[in-house]
Amino acid sequence: MDEFDDFKTAMGDVTPLKTQPRVQLTKSHRDIQSTLVRRQAAIAIDETNNNHLSDNHVEMVDPQEVLSFRANGLQDGVFRKLRKGKYPLDARLDLHRKTVEQARKDVYDFIDDAKKYELRTLIILHGKGEKEAKPALLKSWINKWLRELDDILAFHSAQQFDGGTGAVYVMLRKSESQKQATRDLHGIRHI
C-alpha cells in the first residue's frame, strides 16, 4: 500500500465542503463617490504643499567638493564661525538611504519646522554617495535646494568631526523676535 492509498483510507468518511458560487462585485454609486472624495482630498493636499524646491535638473558636484554659500551682508566672522563648526547645532537631518523625492520633501519640511521653532544653526547629513551609481546625487540636490530657500543665510560643508563633505552646516535668518532680542541685548533702538 502506498501513501496515496493511506490518504484515501484516512479520508474515507469525509465529505467535501460546499462552496458558494463566486459573486460578481459591481461598483456602487457610493464606491465611486468615495473614490472621487479621496482623489479630491489628495489633490487638495498637493495644492496646500508649498514646496517649491526644484526637481527637474541638478548640476552634479564632486563627492569631495566643499559646498559653500553666503548671502550678501553676512559678516565675515559669522560665516567663519559657521565654517569652523563653532555654533551649537539646533537640529539635525539625516538623508542617508533616502530617494531624491523623499529628501526634497524632508529638506523642505525640516527648514520649515526650523523656522517655526526659531532655530538658527542646523546640520544636514547628505552623504557623498561614493558607492552609488550616481555619486553625490543628494549632495548635488542639497547644494541646489538650499540656494533656492530665502530663509537660508549661509551654508558650508561640515568639519570632519561632523561628517566632512558628507554633511553641511546651515544657518537660517533670524526671525523678527530674535532680531528684537538682539537689539534689546545691545541697547539698539530700531527706527
- CA–CA gap between residue 71 and residue 54 (Å, rounded): 20
Strand ordering across the sheet containing 91-94 = 68-70, 152-157, 167-172, 121-125, 91-94
pLDDT at 55: 81
- CA–CA gap between residue 93 and residue 104 (Å, rounded): 12
pLDDT grade for 24, boundaries at 50, 70 and 90:
low
Q: Is the pLDDT of residue 124 over 90?
A: yes
Q: By the 8 A CB rule, do 168 and 126 touch?
A: yes
Question: In degrees, to the nearest 5, what angle opens at C-alpha 151 toward C-alphas 183 and 137?
Answer: 145
- Written as one letter, the residue type at 31 is D
Q: By the 8 A CB rule, do 128 and 95 touch?
A: no
Report the predicted TM-score, pTM, of the whole model to 2 decimal places. 0.70
Residue range 68-182 forms a domain whose CATH class is: alpha beta
pLDDT grade for 45, boundaries at 50, 70 and 90:
low
Average the pLDDT over each of 56-65, 79-88, 138-147, 182-191 and give the range with the smallest value: 182-191
Name the grid cell of 66. Answer: 566643499
Q: Is the pLDDT of residue 83 over 50?
A: yes
pLDDT at 47: 47
Per-domain residue ranges for the chain? 68-182
